[in-house]
Amino acid sequence: MSTIRVQREDRVATLSLSNPGKLNAIDVFMWESLRREFEALSADTELRCVIVRGEDGNFAAGADIAEFAQVRSTPEQALHYHNEVIAPALQAIAGCLHPTVAAIDGVCVGGGLEIACACDLRLAAPEAHFGIPINRLGFPLAPGELQGLLQLIGKARTLEILLEGRVFNAAEAKEKGLLHRIEHDVRTAAQECAQRIANGAPLAARINKQMARRLTPQAEALSSDEMRAAFSWVASQDYRDGVQSFLNKQAPNFQGK
């Protein structure tokens, strides 16, 4: 059963993504738990740092695609799923009062990569792999999630990842600016990093984090028409075929409609 587990040790909390047998794919229940857990962690002023990781050797695969037929079949559902379920979870991570460190091993793709990118620091094992291979599934990245990636690595690298849909290794991820460091023992390295952060002044860390967000330039917000246009693909044949082909383990044959 999918779950978000939170452990605390002294002033450092560790949040673990878990969806056994599904590479920790993030289902709606997990997105909503992520939001709740991060809101609770953020409210706990005794904390100094939060580590985010996945269980059983993987960080997280993307969203749980098996759910799409149920939760993302109409434009209304897609707007709700991305803007009311995923966006608030990613905002809760990015807006957490405390510094956050992603400890990445194994698969870190799609929604998993989005969670990692919402953290302040990203350390990864050399064998971890990365990507957003949704061009084979027939849909684009939702605007809110796209914005996070653009802010981190810029338009050119974001488009390479999305247009090619390749899965790539930690060295390439670091070169693209997705990672701060590659660490052979990533869990120990994340603990040491969290300790180092925990030994600094917490008020200073919180102000640094909050002001760095505030002072990063933002594009003008999308109008509601632009937002709907960004989800126009939901009604396409290619989206239905792409997801169906994925679930049937077949190659899709997109028609552009």
Q: Which of the residues 156 through 175 are near its own copies (CB under 8 A)? A: 156-160, 162-166
Q: Considering beta carbons, is residue 5 or 196 the nearer one to its own copies?
A: 196
Q: How far is the CB of 86 from its own copies (least distance, A)?
A: 16
Alpha-carbon gap, residue 187 to 183, rounded angstroms: 9
Q: Considering beta carbons, is residue 164 or 185 the nearer one to its own copies?
A: 164
| Interface of this chain with its own copies, residues 233 to 252, rule: CB under 8 A | 233, 236, 238-239, 242, 252
For residues 173, 177, 180 and 181, what is the CA-based torsion angle, rounded to 10 degrees? 40
Question: Total residues contacting its own copies (rule CB under 8 A)?
Answer: 71
Q: Considering beta carbons, is residue 4 or 63 the nearer one to its own copies?
A: 63
Alpha-carbon gap, residue 146 to 163, rounded angstroms: 13
Alpha-carbon gap, residue 13 to 98, rounded angstroms: 10
Q: How far is the CB of 199 from its own copies (least distance, A)?
A: 8
Give the 3-state DSSP-derived string for 135-170, with helices as H, strands as E and coil as C.
Answer: HHCCCCCCHHHHHHHHHHHHHHHHHHHHHHCCCEEH
Contact 221, 156 (CB under 8 A): no
| Interface of this chain with its own copies, residues 129 to 148, rule: CB under 8 A | 134-141, 143, 146-147
Q: Considering beta carbons, is residue 70 or 218 the nearer one to its own copies?
A: 218
| Interface of this chain with its own copies, residues 4 to 63, rule: CB under 8 A | 45-46, 48
**Binding of its own copies by 254 (CB under 8 A):** yes
| Interface of this chain with its own copies, residues 176 to 205, rule: CB under 8 A | 177, 180, 193, 196-197, 199-205
**Ramachandran category for residue 256: left, alpha or beta (phi over 0 → left; psi -120 to 50 → alpha):** left
| Interface of this chain with its own copies, residues 204 to 233, rule: CB under 8 A | 204-205, 207-209, 211-219, 222, 226, 229-230, 232-233
Provide the residue type at 157 as one letter.
R
**Binding of its own copies by 102 (CB under 8 A):** no
Q: Considering beta carbons, is residue 38 or 246 the nearer one to its own copies?
A: 246
Length of the chain in residues, anyone? 257
Q: How far is the CB of 29 from its own copies (least distance, A)?
A: 26
Q: How far is the CB of 238 from its own copies (least distance, A)?
A: 5
Q: How far is the CB of 254 from its own copies (least distance, A)?
A: 5
Q: Dihedrals φ, ψ of 147, to 5°? A: -60, -40
Is residue 172 exposed (0-12), middle (13-18) or buried (19+ Cβ within 10 Å)?
Answer: middle
Q: Considering beta carbons, is residue 93 or 193 the nearer one to its own copies?
A: 193
Alpha-carbon gap, residue 138 to 234, rounded angstroms: 9
